[in-house]
Amino acid sequence: MGTDPAVVPGKQWEVAAVPQPRREKLTGWGRTAPSVAQVVRPRTREQIAEAVAGAGPRGVVARGLGRSYGDPAQNAGGLVLDLTGMNRILGVDLDQGTVEVEPGVSLQQLMQAMLPFGYFVPVTPGTRYVTVGGAIGCDIHGKSHHADGSFAQHVLELDLLLADGSVRTLTPETEPELFWATAGGMGLTGVIVRAKLRMMRVETSRIQVETQRVANLDDAMERMTLTDADYRFSVASLDNLATGPSLGRGWVESGNFATLDQLPEKLRGNPLAFSPKPLAAMPDVFPSGLLNRRTIRLMNEANFRRAPKDARPHLATIGGFFHPLDAIHDWNRVYGAAGFLQYQFVVPFAAASTLRRIVERVAVQGAPSFVTVLKRFGPASPGYLSFPADGWTLTYDFPTGTPGLAGLLRWMDAQVLEAGGRLYLAKDSRLDAGDLAAMYPRLEAFRKVRAEADPHGVFVSDQSRRLGL
């Protein structure tokens, strides 16, 4: 086994009492639906077990870096376990390309530790400030789902601390039901206290990207469909306010990790360099409503004009290609105190007309969206509540003060439901419980596994109460 002591701390934490909980107001990344809970920051699995045992009648849920947009990591009146202190890399096997970590290890931490050895995280979303525990609990996806699937499909095994304090080691082979109820299970089966991941081999830390302006939605979808097999990573950014022949105009970015011989000479001396530094931190001074139809229309126009008309290959950094918003710490503050709502859905490829209908309705209504992102998903994972499934997925960021937003979203829910699609629970803060079962046909099976693992319902969240998960 090849290991490197520099990334394997090895030191065991001394057994200590559970830190005293503190009363805190929590929100998701969208800054909506705040609730107050007792928050405790355990450093060992023994402290987690002790905290879970004393959780009280309102139960407990684990929380990482707070990047879920809605309320799955909140627990009003109950206990929240902040696991960011459990952030040790426990072991590395460089020959096998695997790593064992505690749940609070972030994707950025993994990248910094593993890239020098030629390994990258198996799946990354639009931010690297996500913990491994959260990535499994939400079964996150990225720009490579059509090629790599979702995060949990790269988890070889995990240790799950159950409500009775016992710990079970789960693999997809030995305990598939509880494993796949935990992967994407929104933290409701127990607390993940260790995970073993399979990493992705890379030659360099640069991505060979091809960017091309697209005239409209049809153009974007055709280009992405035709190039699916050529690129590991693919995404389209759309002008969500464009109408008529320009409906859904924008640009498509497609890429693969660069090989060593694709780097210019000046970069070959350190081909796996990775030292991201945020450019700035967003002050919390912006009024709600700053991002509105007028300002977003101006930004959309500028971004569209900046995109090259013809396909133009270039090298991008990991931060620039995967996580551009991470360049500004606390970028969500630009929405002001009222916050925003991220709405992501998937519909089958055969329901492309539904996708078009939604894009058209949002544009005609003039609902502004700072981020409008289109991707293609590959086959679903076995996760009971995992979100990705074969089809088109579209994401909007709507300021909460958008006129007519509630009615628009209810109409969108109905369209998605009729098309056989679903919403992403990691971003949800408002889904109707009655629609949930139709969107997630394995919901009852999930509830059965959850009830067997946690018969007294110790693990709960604001979201689980709202949706009856």
Residue 128 has pLDDT above 60, yes or no: yes
Name the helix (H) or strand (E) containing 51: helix 45-53
What does the pLDDT read at residue 16?
63
What does the pLDDT read at residue 318?
97
First to last CA, the chain: 42
Q: Give 176-193 pLDDT, tens digit per residue.
A: 999 999 999 999 999 999
CA angle, 264 then 269 then 273, to 5°: 90
Q: What percent of the chain has pLDDT over 90?
A: 91
Nearest to 243 by CA among 388, 151, 363, 326: 363
Alpha helices by DSSP H, 350-432: 352-365, 405-418
Mean pLDDT, to the nearest integer, of 146-154? Answer: 97
Query: Higher model confidence: residue 195 or residue 311?
Result: 195
Q: Give 426-451 pLDDT, tens digit per residue.
A: 999 999 999 999 999 999 999 999 99
Residue 9 has pLDDT above 80, yes or no: no
What does the pLDDT read at residue 18?
78
Residue 7 has pLDDT above 50, yes or no: no
Mean pLDDT, to the nearest integer, of 24-48? Answer: 96
Residue 14 has pLDDT above 90, yes or no: no
Q: Give 353-393 pLDDT, tens digit per residue.
A: 999 999 999 999 999 999 999 999 999 999 999 999 999 99
**pLDDT confidence band for 309 (50 / 70 / 90):** confident
**pLDDT confidence band for 1 (50 / 70 / 90):** very low
- The per-residue pLDDT of the chain, averaged, comes to 94
Instruction: State whether the Cα torsion 211-362-413-336 is positive or negative.
Output: positive
- Rounded CA separation 430/446 (Å): 21
